[in-house]
Amino acid sequence: MINQAEILIISRYLRPKDRDGFFKVISNFSFVGIMLGVATLIIVMSVMNGFRIDLLDKLLSYQPHISYQSKGNYIQEKKKILNLSETNKIKITDINLVKNSEALILTEKNNFGVLIKSFRKDELNNNYLLKNSIIKGNINDLDIGIGLELASKLSLGVGDIITLLSSNTETTPFGLVPRQFSFKVGYIFSTGMYEFDSNFLITNFDQAKSLSKKNNEIEIKIYNPDKAILFSNILKKNNSENLIYSWVDNNKTFFNALKVERNVMFIILALIIIVAAFNIISVLTILIKNKSKEIAILRSLGFQKSSILKIFILTGATIGFLGTLFGICLGVILSYNLENIRMFLNQYFKINIFPVEIYFINELPAHVNYNSVLLIGLFSFFVVIVASFFPALSASKLDPVINLKND
Q: Which of 213, 248, 283 is the last residue before a domain boundary?
A: 248
Are 302 and 378 found together in one domain?
A: yes
> What is the domain count for the chain?
2
DSSP 104: E
- Give the residue ranges of DSSP H helices in 172-304: 194-197, 205-211, 228-238, 247-250, 252-290, 292-300
Tell which of 223, 248, 273 closes a domain: 248
Name 335's Cβ contacts closer than 8 Å, sequence gap at least 6.
Answer: 42, 43, 46, 47, 366, 368
Q: How far apart are CA 144 and CA 114, in angstroms?
A: 13
Is residue 158 located within the same domain as residue 113? yes
| The Cα angle at residue 347 between residues 341 and 350, in degrees rounded to 5 | 100
Are 108 and 214 in a shared domain? yes
Q: Are 81 and 66 in contact (CB under 8 A)?
A: no
- Per-residue DSSP letters for 6-71? HHHHHHHHHS--GGGHHHHHHHHHHHHHHHHHHHHHHHHHHHHHHHHHHHHHHHHHHS-SEEEE--
Residues 102 and 142 in one domain: yes
The packing angle between helices 4-14 and 305-336, to 10°, is: 50
CA neighbours closer than 13 Å in the CB half-sphere of residue 265: 16
How far, in Å, CA of 305 to CA of 398, rounded? 9
Looking at residue 300, its amino acid is S
Pair (236, 276) in one structural domain:
no
3-state secondary structure of 260: helix
Residue by residue, DSSP assigns 116-144 as: EEEE-HHHHTTSTTTTTTEEEE---TTEE
User: How far, CA to CA in Å, does 205 sit from each of 82, 97, 144, 181, 370?
Assistant: 23, 9, 11, 15, 46
The Cα angle at residue 176 between residues 174 and 177, in degrees rounded to 5:
90
* Helix orientation angle between 370-396 and 21-62, rounded to the nearest 10 degrees: 150
Say how far apart CA 24 and CA 19 lie, in whole Å.
9
What 3-state DSSP class applies to 152?
A: helix
The Cβ of residue 89 has, within 10 Å, a number of other Cβ atoms equal to 7
Instruction: State the DSSP H helix or E strand holding residue 326, giving kind and residue range, or none if neither.
Output: helix 305-336
Domain stops at, among 248, 270, 301: 248
Query: Are residues 117 and 142 part of one domain?
Result: yes
266-293 exposure pattern, b = at least 16 Cβ within 10 A, e = fewer:
beebbebbbebbebbbbbbebbbeebbe
For residues 170 and 282, membership in a common domain is answered with: no
Q: Is the pTM of this model over 0.85?
A: no
Give the integer Cα–Cα distance in Å for 7 and 310. Answer: 10
363/340 Cα distance (integer angstroms)? 10
Q: 244 and 260 share a domain?
A: no
CA–CA distance, 378 with 324 (Å, rounded to integer): 9
Residue among 272, 275, 280 at smallest CA distance from 390: 280
Residue 329, pLDDT score: 96
pLDDT in tens, 36-75: 999 999 999 998 888 888 777 777 777 889 998 888 888 8
Instruction: Say which DSSP state 216 is in.
Output: P
* Residue 90: closest CA among 220, 224, 238: 224
Cα separation, 330 vs 308, in Å, equals 33
Q: Do 205 and 310 reside in the same domain of the chain?
A: no
Task: Assess whether 241 and 262 both reside in one domain.
Answer: no
Cα separation, 100 vs 102, whole angstroms:
7
202 and 329, same domain (yes or no): no
Residue range 236-283, pLDDT digits in tens = 998 878 889 898 888 888 778 878 888 888 888 888 888 888 888 888
Same domain, 266 and 208: no
Smallest CA-to-CA distance from 326 within 17, 15, 39 is with 39
Structural contact between residues 218 and 81, judged by C-beta atoms closer than 8 angstroms? yes
Q: Mean pLDDT, consecutive 10-residue segments, the chain of 407 residues? A: 81 71 75 91 90 79 86 88 92 88 79 85 78 82 84 87 76 64 88 82 80 82 89 89 86 80 85 83 84 83 87 90 94 92 83 63 82 93 91 85 65
**For residue 310, what are the domain limits?**
4-56+255-406
